[in-house]
Structure 1
Amino acid sequence: MHRDLKQYRCIKRSVIKIQAWYRCQLARRIYQEHRAKIVTIQQYYRAYKLGKIEREYYLQKHAAVIVLQAAFRGMKARELYRKTKAVCVVQSLWRMKKEKLRFLQLKKSVLILESNIPIFLFLPLEFYCFR
């Protein structure tokens, strides 16, 4: 009986070791599956976060470029306005000079005409009539 008990205990220990090994393998496999799923979720989440950061960075740069473009276009528009205004001033002065010369030429012509025509032609008819 003592020998059967010893053999039973030996078999029981062996069964317990096999069960422990099997449970260990099962737990390890479940752990590795969970770990693989967690790693996959982490990769997707990190990619999402990185994509979000990159998008914010892009949008920030895009907004900065728009501000710079607006400033540059405004500067070009103001420069064009100043040049146009300067051209208008030059044109105005040139036209004024031309008109002044034309007027002075006309005035000179009138003075020459008046100096060559006798004054009595400009007097009224009653001035010549004798009674």
Structure 2
Amino acid sequence: MKDQSRKRHIAKAITWRVVGTIDTILLSWLISGNPLTGLKIGFTEVLTKMVLYYFHERVWFKINLTKDGKLLESRKRHIGKTITWRMIGTLDTMLLAWWISGNPLTGMKIGVAELFTKMIFYYIHERIWHRSRFGLTAHNVNEI
């Protein structure tokens, strides 16, 4: 079970990072006015976000949120995951954008813009992965 779920979480981390990096590059370019700044912020995030996302997935996989002895409905769980991930992701983006651009206001603007775009994209990503059985065994399919 552990090996299968880890494969799934690594695959989810990679697919989400592709979507997230494209969004970050475009937003950073639009806000900073500099395509090179957008690329620097986007590609720096690849490493930090993949590590952070993997651990976020592992924590949520181990959390057993129950209501009356039953696992919470998946949409509520995905909303909870969306909110916690966005908090982590936005803080990371803001700090990296500030560091790379040298301007704390640029970091704040990019972070605020991402609050909206990334929450929408992340929810869609979670729903797609919820329908996928990649990396799941019969035992842990029922846990999701």
TM-score normalised to the size of structure 1?
0.23
Structure (1 or 2) with the greater helix fraction: 1
Higher Rg:
1
Greater length-normalized contact order (CA 8 Å, ≥ 6 residues apart): 2
TM-score normalised to the size of structure 2?
0.21
